A and B are shown apart, each in its own frame.
Chain A
């Protein structure tokens, strides 16, 4: 979601601040450490790929003004996806004073794979063994001093979420060193390294490391190569690579990694000792297993959905909204406001602007604070709990086969579920997907059919008043349309699907403090982003109402809204403001239904249209930024008529079959 730290990275880049770069495997706690060092909150969750962008934060560490840089997690510094490339590029072109490699202590083997690559780069770094508590509870003890000796760099042990070990880490940060550890490869590969190194320019990292990236077949390095050396030399380098590759059956990238892992295993054998594991993790482990079980997995999924529905849809959208809207706003705030406005503002037009039917206070603020805020607030709490438990990636295991129909794999479930939080951020998260095809497909499906938290909350509120059959028809239509569009789009969009390889984090008990901080950060984001747009939307409606444009729009949209969709004329208003924010549009429907202007069939039809409807403005801009103007426009041009067609067809079918909802 939009709760990132500062993003003004560019202005920091050339500053003379002391720079600390956080690097490590996915889901090892880099963001937690970042928050601890800078006091800036960035989303911390329990799944790989929470951070997809570089985040910058300021701190005073060891009495020095410092710029701390958080990066997306990587399994190798030869990137496989866009977010991994961001991290590698930071090392390649941004000179940090110290690199802090954060490693998951219980998965040190994979951490060392990165350590060895940092050693090859000859960058000054220190190693932080994070989540030491989890390793201990599993009976894994790492000999810190021995590891430090073997690697030739400082090694610290921390539990970032409990702030433990930070002092020692800060001490270590003062003494970064390049590691003297060297991995020797086959003679042919070493020959290739020598030949390529001779052609490479001076860079922030050792030529040997760049040569190894080239040999590993790193396509993403091409841009950098072309920018820094002449084209014909790039061609020569590629020739050397092919020559070395021709000597082996397996890919060079694999052979290089294999050699590194062997080295990592040698180191590990000297520093790792195994003891009796504690019982604590066993329960979590079993929960993790059941949640992916072919039989128990589904009931668990439905239970989770049901609990979220009860919490957000029934309690949040029902009880909390009723209290806020009827009692707080209806009985106190709005009457007070009316009195105050009448007293202070004598001009009727301005009175109406503030407190009329389309009043900025009576409509915009009431919608934003009384209806949507409680709903998204409760949703954010539920969502944060799910995020931190480690349950979400396990859903990928359950739905992998279904996603294959849409040319995707289970990994795509992560951005899709994040879309339930915020489609805008989820569109950014598509960077964790490996192929362009998958990124386009998920962007399209997010814009088409994944309702964001605000909208979903309002929808859950509306659905709560409907029969099970009506809910089923709405959900079934939505899922069917997503599958259909995904299936067809997968046929049309060129490119290959990628392998399903997804790391599953351990099931953890969510930390109350993180849930709280995260929810507050998200609510703040909601208020900052949504309220101004609600006010803008209301203002447009007010002006439209005053100059008669609203009535005019209703007249010209009547054939569609009234005849085709079978909805009351005023529903057009909801669609108009739905352009600004989908949740605002949904809230408009919510009000219509509360006033008793919609029958169940009309609710289902209008909900279906609203859910499939064009994405909100922020999401559209993100689509343009990530996928390009052309693709974004194509998608919008498809989605808009498609939503109405599906709504119209649904209306026709429901009425023709005389289905009582």
Chain B
């Protein structure tokens, strides 16, 4: 995963999108950066097409608007990243690893912009981000977001080591209160309210970071418990309260 960041950075200025948002041919917009990033893009295309079951050379070329597409593919094959000999394009072990990490960073970035900053269609930002994230930061982002299984457009996010550890150790994570299973208890970490008055009201009832809440039920309305107080609330409100399971 060595990468010439300076080169990529200096070329950032020319960064422009050649794929439309929520791309044609059903593919989300992909990221374009020359040199190494061009390879990255091909890896992402191969991965995405493989999920759809058609990673043929023809499809890859169709989905790639880079002019030197085929040349790069051949280079990748020469260097032992991919195998072009079969009916479909296969990722070789080190290519598999690289593609997997790339896609993971891209989709996690999307998730982060969507969940944390409430930015929908943040493709461009996600594209910049996926090239900056180091493995450690990627795992932190993954943990912060609660090891999300999907990107906002529903595509699976390849699991990382942190996710496996999470499954085994049930490490604490931050998630909206709305995502708890009824009966679970959690500590409020932060609240991102839509309006100030909503936050004021909640805080007067003891809903502040640090308080322990229990989700009682989700249907027909959400009911939460703080101490000995039961409070019925709108679902929207529970989406804005971020908690850490305890």
Give the B-binding residues of A (Cβ under 8 A).
75-76, 78, 80, 104, 106-107, 109-110, 113, 135, 138, 140, 216-217, 250-251, 253-254, 257-258, 261-262, 265, 288-289, 292-294, 297, 393, 396-401, 409-410, 499-506
Contacts A292-B217, A294-B220, A401-B221; A254 near B208 (Cβ below 8 A): yes
- Neighbour of A400 across the interface among B203, B229, B232, CB < 8 A: B232
Contact B228 A293 (CB under 8 A): no
Contacts A254-B199, A261-B206, A501-B232; A297 near B220 (Cβ below 8 A): yes
Query: In the docked arrangement, what's the CA distance between A65 and B203, Å?
Result: 39
User: B93 an interface residue at 8 Å Cβ cutoff?
Assistant: no
Name the CB-closest residue of B to A245: B196
Give every chain A residue within 8 A of B220 (Cβ-Cβ): 292, 294, 297, 397-401
Query: In the docked arrangement, what's the CA distance between A254 and B205, Å?
Result: 11
User: B104 an interface residue at 8 Å Cβ cutoff?
Assistant: no
- Neighbour of A500 across the interface among B196, B199, B208, B221, CB < 8 A: B221
Give every chain A residue within 8 A of B200 (Cβ-Cβ): 76, 78, 80, 216-217, 251, 253-254, 257
Known A500-B221, A503-B229, A505-B230; further 8 A-B contacts with Cβ < 8 A: A80-B201, A104-B228, A106-B228, A294-B219, A397-B223, A400-B232, A401-B220, A503-B205
Contact A257 B204 (CB under 8 A): yes
Give every chain B residue within 8 A of A76 (Cβ-Cβ): 200, 204
Query: In the docked arrangement, what's the CA distance between A251 and B201, Å?
Result: 11
| CB 8 Å contact bits of B210-232 with A (1 = contact, 0 = none) | 11000011011101000111111
Query: In the docked arrangement, what's the CA distance between A140 and B227, Å?
Result: 11
Query: In the docked arrangement, what's the CA distance between A570 and B209, Å?
Result: 66
User: B233 an interface residue at 8 Å Cβ cutoff?
Assistant: yes
User: B237 an interface residue at 8 Å Cβ cutoff?
Assistant: yes
Give every chain A residue within 8 A of B199 (Cβ-Cβ): 250-251, 253-254
Contacts A217-B200, A257-B200; A500 near B234 (Cβ below 8 A): yes
Contact A78 B231 (CB under 8 A): no
Minimum CB–CB distance from B72 to chain A (whole Å) comes to: 45
User: B16 an interface residue at 8 Å Cβ cutoff?
Assistant: no
Query: In the docked arrangement, what's the CA distance between A106 and B229, Å?
Result: 9
Query: In the docked arrangement, what's the CA distance between A400 and B234, Å?
Result: 9
Contact A257 B227 (CB under 8 A): no
Name the CB-closest residue of B to A75: B204
Give every chain B residue within 8 A of A106 (Cβ-Cβ): 227-228
Contact A80 B237 (CB under 8 A): no
User: B12 an interface residue at 8 Å Cβ cutoff?
Assistant: no
Contacts A397-B220, A500-B221, A501-B201; A257 near B208 (Cβ below 8 A): yes
Contact A289 B216 (CB under 8 A): yes
- Neighbour of A110 across the interface among B205, B209, B237, CB < 8 A: B205
Contact B232 A499 (CB under 8 A): no
Contacts A250-B199, A401-B221; A501 near B237 (Cβ below 8 A): yes
| CB 8 Å contact bits of B48-78 with A (1 = contact, 0 = none) | 0000000000000000000000000000000
- Neighbour of B211 across the interface among A107, A250, A261, A506, CB < 8 A: A261
User: B167 an interface residue at 8 Å Cβ cutoff?
Assistant: no
Contact B232 A410 (CB under 8 A): yes
- Neighbour of A217 across the interface among B196, B202, B209, CB < 8 A: B196
Query: In the docked arrangement, what's the CA distance between A113 and B204, Å?
Result: 8
Name the CB-closest residue of A to B216: A289
Contact B196 A138 (CB under 8 A): no
Contact A504 B205 (CB under 8 A): no
Contact A501 B230 (CB under 8 A): no
Minimum CB–CB distance from A534 to chain B (whole Å) comes to: 40
- Neighbour of B204 across the interface among A78, A138, A288, A401, CB < 8 A: A78
Query: In the docked arrangement, what's the CA distance between A104 and B230, Å?
Result: 13
Query: In the docked arrangement, what's the CA distance between A293 and B237, Å?
Result: 20
Query: In the docked arrangement, what's the CA distance between A398 and B222, Å?
Result: 10
Contact A504 B204 (CB under 8 A): no
Contacts A397-B220, A400-B221, A501-B201; A109 near B232 (Cβ below 8 A): no
Contact A110 B206 (CB under 8 A): yes
- Neighbour of B205 across the interface among A75, A258, A265, CB < 8 A: A75
The 6 closest A-B pairs by CB, nearest first: A251-B196, A76-B204, A257-B203, A253-B200, A294-B219, A504-B230
- Neighbour of A499 across the interface among B201, B203, B204, CB < 8 A: B201
Give every chain A residue within 8 A of B232 (Cβ-Cβ): 292, 393, 396-397, 400, 410, 500-504
Contacts A107-B228, A500-B232; A258 near B221 (Cβ below 8 A): no
Query: In the docked arrangement, what's the CA distance between A409 and B204, Å?
Result: 20
Contacts A107-B228, A501-B237; A80 near B221 (Cβ below 8 A): no
User: B198 an interface residue at 8 Å Cβ cutoff?
Assistant: yes
Contact B205 A292 (CB under 8 A): no
Give every chain B residue within 8 A of A410 (Cβ-Cβ): 221, 232
Contact A258 B201 (CB under 8 A): no
Contacts A253-B196, A500-B221; A80 near B229 (Cβ below 8 A): no
Name the CB-closest residue of A to B208: A258
Give every chain B residue within 8 A of A297 (Cβ-Cβ): 220
Query: In the docked arrangement, what's the CA distance between A658 and B167, Å?
Result: 66
Minimum CB–CB distance from A72 to chain B (whole Å) comes to: 14
- Neighbour of A397 across the interface among B197, B203, B221, B237, CB < 8 A: B221
Contact A262 B228 (CB under 8 A): no
Contact A499 B230 (CB under 8 A): no
Query: In the docked arrangement, what's the CA distance between A504 and B216, Å?
Result: 12
Query: In the docked arrangement, what's the CA distance between A396 and B216, Å?
Result: 15
Name the CB-closest residue of B to A398: B220
Contact A503 B210 (CB under 8 A): no
Contact A499 B221 (CB under 8 A): no
Query: In the docked arrangement, what's the CA distance between A637 and B139, Å?
Result: 65
Minimum CB–CB distance from A312 to chain B (whole Å) comes to: 27
Query: In the docked arrangement, what's the CA distance between A245 and B169, Å?
Result: 42
Contacts A400-B220, A400-B221; A501 near B206 (Cβ below 8 A): no
Query: In the docked arrangement, what's the CA distance between A398 and B220, Å?
Result: 6
Give every chain B residue within 8 A of A113 (Cβ-Cβ): 204, 206
Name the CB-closest residue of B to A219: B197
Minimum CB–CB distance from A651 to chain B (whole Å) comes to: 36
- Neighbour of B237 across the interface among A104, A216, A499, CB < 8 A: A499
Contacts A107-B227, A138-B228; A501 near B233 (Cβ below 8 A): yes
Contact A500 B203 (CB under 8 A): no
- Neighbour of A293 across the interface among B197, B206, B209, B217, CB < 8 A: B217
Minimum CB–CB distance from A222 to chain B (whole Å) comes to: 15
Give every chain B residue within 8 A of A502 (Cβ-Cβ): 231-233
Query: In the docked arrangement, what's the CA distance between A80 and B199, Å?
Result: 12
Contacts A254-B196, A499-B237, A503-B205; A140 near B221 (Cβ below 8 A): no
| CB 8 Å contact bits of B230-246 with A (1 = contact, 0 = none) | 11111011000000000
Minimum CB–CB distance from B20 to chain A (whole Å) comes to: 34
Contact B223 A504 (CB under 8 A): yes
Question: Residue among B229, B231, B232, B233 with the most chain A CB within 10 A?
Answer: B232
Query: In the docked arrangement, what's the CA distance between A78 and B204, Å?
Result: 9
